[in-house]
Amino acid sequence: MISYINGNRIEQEPNLLFDKSDTSAVHPQVYWGLRKYGPYDKDISDIRLVIMSPIEKMNNVKKLVDELNSGTPIMPGGMPRFFRCKIEVIEEVYVESMETASYEKSAFNFVNRADPRDVDVVLVYIPKTSRFLSNTPYYRVKAILASEGYPSQMITENTFANLKWSYLNLASAIFSKAGGVPWVLEDEMKNVDMLLGISISSVISKRNRAGNVPRYVGYVNVFDSFGKWMFFDGTAKPYEKSKRLEQLKELLSAAISRFKIEKKFDPKNIVIHYYKRWGEQEKQCVIDVLNDILGDFNVAFISIDDSHPLRLYDMATPDGSIPRGCYAYLNKNEILLSTTGYTEIASRRMGTPKLLRIRLEQYPEEFISIDDVAFQVLSLTKLNWATVTPLVREPVTLLFSREIAYLTAAISEQDWMSITRPEVNVILNKRPWFI
Amino acid sequence: MSVTEVLAFYNRVGNLFKLTYNDGNLFLVTSDCTIGIDSNKVVIFNGRMYSYERIPGSRPIKPEKDLLKSMITKQFALKLKNLGYRFKGKYRVYKEEAEVENPYKDIFSIYRGFEFRILLLNEDIYLCIDPKIIFKFNSSIKQLIEKGANPNSLKDFSVSYSAEREGIDGYLIETASIGEDFVCKIKNYRDFREVEISADKVFPEPRPELIQKLLNEIGVQYDVIGLQRKLSFLDSKTASRDRLYKTLEIIKRLKSEVFPLKFGEFEVNIEETPVVVR
């Protein structure tokens, strides 16, 4: 006996828009879009960059920046062509050695004398370390700089080892951390006014490890209907798990109020992505907040989980992978979506696609279908501004949450409170400093 | 239809294998007194206890599929344990004889195992199987020091120290010397209290990146990450196909080893053909 489940497929890659004043500047692939049209946001002319590096690597980093400006075979015309701006190195900060302590010393010296309003991005050369280790130059420098309002971009020996494509990834990350919008979706997502990627219980370290009682932070990334990242907000103080619903209320209320101010309308259809399964209390808490603030609303609770062993295969593709954009229905409102399987827009894949298990619940009534959600999630995989690769597994809602989760596990409570204090938040919350 | 025929006719399949079973009763335990009840024969479902055997103070019920799924999951895991499978966490299993050769077995072992789930999809119950490479750390913190590791560098990672060593127990804050011996200061993950455990009972978390770091720490140059990539099909040009065939191999073995799975009035069988996506 054969058993079946039903499947479906998104036939066409979502298009991206590369000019906010020209709706014809569209392309399905980031690389070709930037090369042909430049970025969505063409208002940035110069990016003020600080380089922080050990002395023996400084020349390499400066050369890299020069090449970003002048261009490379993959990136002909460099920053002026691809991002319509130039990078200006305004300061060089030396690090005595490759040890974490040396990086901390240089970073503290720098933040104590500089003003974040005069710097767009700090480019830091660091040794390659595992992201699972917390006491590393990556996490320490990122935390020290962010807690004083400086977005940073890290590069390692690996960046230089594979420079061909790294140039463009690096350029895009620097551009977005300087406040630019490199690209957005061409079309609005169906029936979505406001999209949130939320995390309400990321454990935060206390001096790089959990304290006597584990403490948590919550944060939210808000996107508009074109998938454009709008801002980041985090709970002001770490809290204990029993207080998570209060923190969810605080986060959501602040995010909606801010969305209303920036967009000048009340969002009606709100979609919230969460990388865990929604609990009943959490859903009710969201509904209560929306009732208080908006009254007239629809909300979609979407959980996107990749910590499962479910796989799909397609024997008709060269490697047996299920093509990108294909999905299978596990239940009426639950699908398994492939985002990194076989596709004509990218030839290089590694391993078996890890599928996204997506569940949809709605309140008070249905306003979006699970097929719409599949398309929405696939579209959102194309909005990671830190890479131009056409194959990204996670939607940006989930990806940004995960990046911040890694950071919270490694940075201290004190760093977190600095990052979320108003004078720093006003600089950082419009820039994706965590990617 | 055989597996080969299914794969010849249908391109798209999943790693889900339908479980079939007969009608039968489970027994709702209504008595407040549960002393003496064999915990292997019961499940707690929605706050109530169900046994697959009639016991005093119980009454027969026709189980809903969710409940039956829960009982099948428990009995499947128990059967695996009885057959000599070792567990890493709740759902990852391996057998000692499935160890992959490596030159540093005194420090770590690698096994070819699998991860499983039992799922209820569209009113049918399925077994999901995915091949997994499972790492185990064999050297205690004390042994790593004896092999040349600097005690000062043995900190800031997760460790296990309970006898079962099926998961991680805490976070290693410091490895300190006491006379000629060493003790590990650990933040216990259960209650976040700091405990001191003798270094010979503490083992690093068997994560490939950490194994790699600790090998380097004792001067061993061996590419653990590379080995993991190779065994996880990451270097294969037909990675998905290879993984599917490996999955089918595991199912074939489980079909003869584990199934039929019998408990109480139930006999559960598995279909060897994967679910087709149409």
Average pLDDT over residues A262-291: 94
pLDDT of residue A208: 44
**Position A12 in a domain:** no
pLDDT band at A184 (very low <50, low <70, confident <90, very high): very high
pLDDT tens across B122-181, in order? 889 999 999 999 999 999 999 999 999 999 999 888 899 987 766 788 889 899 998 889
- Closest-approach residue (CA) in chain B for A131: B209
- Record: contact A7-B12, CB cut-off 8 A: yes
Output A115 or A239, whichever has higher pLDDT.
A115
Query: What residue ranges in A308-355 does DSSP mark as E strands?
Result: 312-314, 326-331, 334-337
- Whether residue B213 and residue A308 make contact (CB cut-off 8 A), yes or no, is no
Average pLDDT on A10-21 reads: 93
By C-alpha distance, the chain A residue nearest B211 is A130
Q: Would you say residue A431 lies in a domain? A: no
pLDDT at B42 over 70: yes
Is B156 close to A133, i.e. CB distance below 8 A? yes
What residues of chain B, 52 to 71, have a C-beta less than 8 Å from chain A? Answer: none
Q: Do B243 and A316 touch (CB under 8 A)?
A: no
- Return mean pLDDT, chain B: 92
Instruction: For residue A240, give the amino acid letter.
Output: E
Q: For A173-177, B11-15, B23-27, B207-211, which range has the lowest pLDDT when averaged over its residues? A: B207-211
In a shared domain, residues A163 and A202:
no
Please check whether residue A350 touches B, CB under 8 A: yes
Quick one: A81 and A116 in the same domain? yes
pLDDT of residue B93: 96
A309 reaches B (C-beta below 8 A): yes
- A164 and chain B in contact, CB less than 8 A: no
Put simply, whether A211 touches B (Cβ < 8 Å) is yes
**Pair (A161, A263) in one structural domain:** no
Do B277 and A214 lie within an 8 Å CB cutoff? no
| CB-based contact, A311 to chain B, within 8 Å | yes
Alpha carbon of A78: minimum distance to chain B alpha carbons (Å):
33
Same domain, residue pair A237 and A294: yes
Q: Residue A416: inside a domain, yes or no?
A: no
Residue A224 lies in a domain: yes
Cα–Cα nearest to A176, from A41, A290, A322: A41
Which residue on chain A is closest to B115 by alpha carbon?
A309
pLDDT in tens, A129-146: 776 677 789 988 998 999
Query: What pLDDT, in 10s, does the model give residues A33-76?
Result: 999 999 999 999 899 999 999 999 999 999 999 999 999 988 99
pLDDT digit string (tens) for B202-258? 999 999 989 999 999 999 999 999 999 888 888 888 999 999 999 999 999 999 999
Co-location of A295 and A367 in the same domain: yes
- Which of A6, A209, A211 has its CB closest to that of B278? A6
In this complex, is the C-beta atom of A408 within 8 Å of any C-beta atom belonging to chain B? no
- Over range B29-36, report the average pLDDT: 77
**Residue A286 structure tokens:** 């969201």
Are A122 and A192 in the same domain? no
Question: How many domains does chain A divide into?
Answer: 2
Q: What is the pLDDT of residue A403?
A: 83
Using the Cβ of A346 and the Cβ atoms of chain B, whether some distance falls under 8 Å is answered with: no
Residue position matching structure tokens 């609990």: A279
Q: Look at residue A297 in the predicted model and tell me its pLDDT.
A: 95
Dihedral of the alpha carbons of B148, B152, B156, B157, in degrees to the nearest 10: 20
B278 with A5: Cβ contact below 8 A: yes
Shared-domain flag, residues A175 and A201: no
CA atoms within 13 A on the CB side of A52: 31
| Euclidean distance between CA atoms B278 and B275, whole angstroms | 9
CB of B130 within 8 Å of any CB in chain A? yes
Domain CATH code at residue A302: 3.30.420.10
Has residue A60 been placed in a domain? yes
Q: Are residues A266 and A401 in the same domain?
A: yes
Does residue A427 lie in a domain region?
A: no
Integer Cα distance of B191 and B206 in angstroms: 22
* Same domain for A276 and A350: yes
> Could you give the C-alpha distances from A422 to A147, A366, A403, A425, in angstroms and in order?
11, 38, 22, 5
Contacts of A349 in chain B (CB under 8 A): 239
Closest CA to A87 of A101, A103, A69, A100: A69
* Burial annotation A128-138 (CB, 10 A radius, 16+ → b, else e): ebeebbbbbbb
Residue A406 counted as domain residue: yes
Same domain membership, residue A245 and residue A334: yes
Evaluate if residue A328 carries a pLDDT over 70. yes
Tell me which of A183, A204, A225 is where a domain ends: A183
- Considering the domain architecture, whether residues A74 and A105 belong to the same structural domain is answered as yes
Give the confidence band of B91 by pLDDT, cuts at 50, 70, 90.
very high
Q: Are B51 and B26 in contact (CB under 8 A)?
A: yes
Query: By the 8 A CB rule, do A383 and A172 touch?
Result: no
Minimal Cα–Cα distance from A212 to chain B, Å?
6
pTM reported for the whole predicted model: 0.90
Q: Is the ipTM of this complex over 0.90?
A: yes
CATH number for position A44: 3.40.50.2300
Residues A149 and A268 in one domain: no
User: Which of B116, B192, B241 minimises the CB distance to A212?
Assistant: B192
Is there a contact between A378 and A192 (Cβ–Cβ < 8 Å)?
no
Segments forming the whole domain that contains residue A192: 188-410
Task: Flag if B238 and A320 touch (Cβ within 8 Å).
Answer: yes
CB contact under 8 A, A2 and B1: yes
Q: Report, as an integer, the average pLDDT of A188-206.
A: 84
Cβ within 8 Å, pair B277-A309: no
Residue A426, in any domain of the structure: no
Where among A141, A162, A183 does a domain terminate?
Answer: A183
- Yes or no: say if A435 and A176 are a contact pair by the CB < 8 Å rule: yes
| Integer CA distances (angstroms), A172 to A91, A193, A238, A253, B269, in order | 21, 26, 32, 31, 54
Please tell me if residue B209 touches chain A, with a CB cutoff of 8 Å: yes
Cα–Cα distance, A326 to A335 (Å, whole number): 10
Q: Determine whether the interchain pair B156/A134 forms a contact, defined as Cβ–Cβ distance below 8 Å.
A: yes
Is the minimum CB–CB distance between B3 and chain A shorter than 8 Å?
no
Q: Please tell me the distance in Å from A1's CA to the nearest CA on chain B.
A: 7
> What is the three-class DSSP state of A316?
coil
Which residue in B has a C-alpha nearest to residue A208's C-alpha?
A: B156
A313/B240 Cβ within 8 A: yes
Asked if A209's CB is within 8 angstroms of B187's CB, the reply is yes
Contact A353 B240 (CB under 8 A): yes
* Closest chain A CA to residue B6: A2
Measured between alpha carbons, how far is B53 from A187 in angstroms, rounded to an integer? 59
Domain boundary among A161, A183, A205: A183
Strand order across the A229-234 sheet: A7-9, A326-331, A334-337, A356-363, A298-305, A269-274, A194-204, A215-223, A229-234
